[in-house]
Amino acid sequence: MARPPLAKEKILAAARRIVEQDGAGRLTFDELARVSGVTRGGITYHFPTKEDLLRGLLESDFAQWEESETARMPTDCDPDTARLLGFIRTYTSRDDSHRRFLCGMLSAATLDPSLMDPCRQELQERLGRKQWTERDLRLHILHLAAEGLMWQELFQMFSMPAPARARLTALMERLAREWGEEQTRRIAKEA
C-alpha cells in the first residue's frame, strides 16, 4: 500500500497545479490551502513566504528534470555524451504541463530574478568545469540547440512540423554521438 503524500509534497503538487493553470501571480496561501487541503499554518511551516514556496517549486522542478535526464541517458557512450543525450531527449520531449508551469513561473522570475539563482548555480556546475575544447564547443552547440527548440515552442513562436522536428532531434543526437566519440577515439590513439 502506498503511503499518503506528506504535507510538503501535497503543498508542492497543489502549488504546481495552480501555477500551471493560473500562473504564479494567482498562487496565494489561501488558494493553496483550498487546493492542497493543508492548513495555512501547515503551509507556512514548510514555506514561510511565497518566495520560499516559489523556490521550493523550482527546486522540485530541477530535481524532476535531473531525474528525467538521467533516465534518458544511454549507456553505450562516454559519460559527457550520455549526459548531453539525456539533456537533448529531455529538452526536446513535449510536455504541455511542464510548458504551462514554466510559463506560469516566468512572471515570478521577472519580478524576482533571484528565483533563477538555482538555475544559474546548476549551469555553473555543469558548464564551469568544461575546458572549452573544440569538442566542448561542439557539444555546447547541441546543448543550445535543444534549449532553443524548447524555448521557441514554450513561447509558441514556431512549432516545427512533427516529421521535421523528429529529424532535427535525431540529427542532434547523431552529432552528439559523433562529436563525443571523436575525442574518445583521439584519447585511445594517444594511449
Domains and CATH numbers, the chain: 1-48 (1.10.10), 55-190 (1.10.357)
Q: Where are the alpha helices (DSSP H) in the chain?
A: 7-22, 29-36, 40-46, 50-71, 79-91, 96-111, 117-128, 134-154, 162-190
* Closest to 140 measured CA to CA, from 181, 87, 77: 87
Cα 94 from Cα 99, distance rounded (Å): 8
pTM, full prediction: 0.81
* Type of residue numbered 93: S
Integer Cα distance of 62 and 124 in angstroms: 14
189, amino acid identity: K
Non-local CB neighbours of 109 within 8 Å, separated by 6+ positions: 115, 116
Residuewise pLDDT in 10s, the chain (191 residues): 555 568 999 999 999 999 999 989 889 999 999 999 999 999 999 999 999 999 999 989 988 989 999 999 999 999 989 999 999 999 999 888 888 898 888 888 888 899 888 888 888 988 888 899 888 999 999 999 999 999 998 888 888 899 999 999 999 999 999 998 876 666 666 66
Read off the amino acid at residue 152: Q
